[in-house]
Amino acid sequence: MRKVVIAIDSFKGCLSSDECGQAAEEGVKSIYPACEVIKLPIADGGEGMLNALMSVTQGNYVRLYAHNPLMEVIETQYGISKDGQTAFIEMATISGLPIIPPEKRNPLITTSYGTGELIKDALNKGCRKFIIGIGGSATNDAGLGMLQALGFRFLDKSGMELETGGRIMDKVFHIDNSNIHPALKDSLFTIACDVNNPFCGPEGAAYIYARQKGADNEMIEELDKGMQSLANVIRQITGKDITSTPGAGAAGGMGGGFIAFLNADLKSGIDLLLEAFDFKNLIKNADLIITGEGKVDRQTIMGKVPSGILREAQKQNIPVIIIAGSVEDTEELNKAGFKGVFSITPSPVSLEAAMEANFAKENIKRLIRQICRITS
């Protein structure tokens, strides 16, 4: 084997994309020492996207303090490209679910305000292009908090300015944009997301994702009602109907907020990254591509990292195998085009043991070593 490309998403809560890739590379090299191995950090719009983009652009990290979803000030970061023109923001670093303890998660209260603060800081530093990953959010406020940080004011029927959180959506009656950041009119926003959910309704943000953010049934109904009300106000004021727009429901409606107020383009996170990596040229003449994520099942072929990689590989007839900690729906994954679907876990173990980092690394190395032996 002369050339292998490794592009494995993080095993969330266990290993980063870099750690997975390093372990897989060691497995390949143990059988094929002279093999050219191209190892890419990869993500789909959520955790890890910032680091992946920074590795491509050789940009600089910016550290700053901003408000988390509960409006507590914490230290966070974003990136700026080497030429200073493009900001790379990962919503999860300031408005993400892992930041909030489970007992404090409440999407009626949590806000995306901090994400807006990062955008504002980048605008003040001269950035006019933005690539923003919105996966892993703790919020369901349709991006209103983010917009508030940028100068938008949301008013109720009496003209009073509303506070923050998902609870304000059904109270918005008027939107004042007279004091928004002046640089917004010259800025371009590309939003990376990996879901196509509409803004509201049975398949919308609240019904599909709010429960994992701390909502009960009553909250979910209230949030969806608020999103329907807000969508009507947006349509009346801007002329844009975001109700059924694919991706508008991403990150608790953040996708819809970006479309309605910042004229953003929504793009598959994995497609955006593969374009940044110039993936189609990197994989030329590869004998094998190894991809994977923590769990693979039928949802894997619906826009996640491995599906994007498979799509590009198939154009060049390069075989792709997929590895994971947990594997389901193997036949469907094979039918989609994966040449092999493998679990890294060698025997029944507890979840706690399987998630132990060193154990997982060794399992990846062992598995890749055995796969390479077949072709040696």
Question: What is the C-alpha separation between 289 and 287, in angstroms, rounded?
Answer: 7
144-160: pLDDT as tens digits: 999 999 999 999 999 99
Question: What is the C-alpha separation between 113 and 168, in angstroms, rounded?
Answer: 13
Q: Which of 147, 135, 115 is nearest to 273 (CA)?
A: 135
pLDDT at 266 over 80: yes
pLDDT band at 44 (very low <50, low <70, confident <90, very high): low
Average pLDDT, the chain: 94
pLDDT band at 45 (very low <50, low <70, confident <90, very high): low
Centre a 10 Å sphere on the Cβ of residue 348 and count the other Cβ atoms it contains: 7
Burial profile 29-42: b = 16 or more Cβ within 10 angstroms, e = fewer: bebbeebebbbbbb
Enter the pTM of the model: 0.85
pLDDT confidence of residue 305: 85
Q: Which of 119, 51, 81, 49 is nearest to 273 (CA)?
A: 49
Q: Which of 189-198, 233-242, 270-279 is predicted most confidently?
A: 233-242
pLDDT confidence of residue 375: 81
pLDDT confidence of residue 46: 65
pLDDT confidence of residue 30: 96
Contact 167, 154 (CB under 8 A): no
Averaged pLDDT, 210-221: 97
Range from 154-158, 269-273, 330-334 carrying the lowest mean pLDDT = 269-273
Averaged pLDDT, 50-75: 93
pLDDT at 125 over 70: yes
What dihedral angle (degrees, nearest 10) is formed by the CA atoms of 49, 50, 51, 55?
A: 100
pLDDT at 237 over 70: yes
Q: Which residue ranges form the domains of the chain, and what is each CATH number?
A: 3-42+278-375 (3.40.50.10350), 49-269 (3.90.1510.10)
pLDDT at 139 over 80: yes
Centre a 10 Å sphere on the Cβ of residue 57 and count the other Cβ atoms it contains: 17
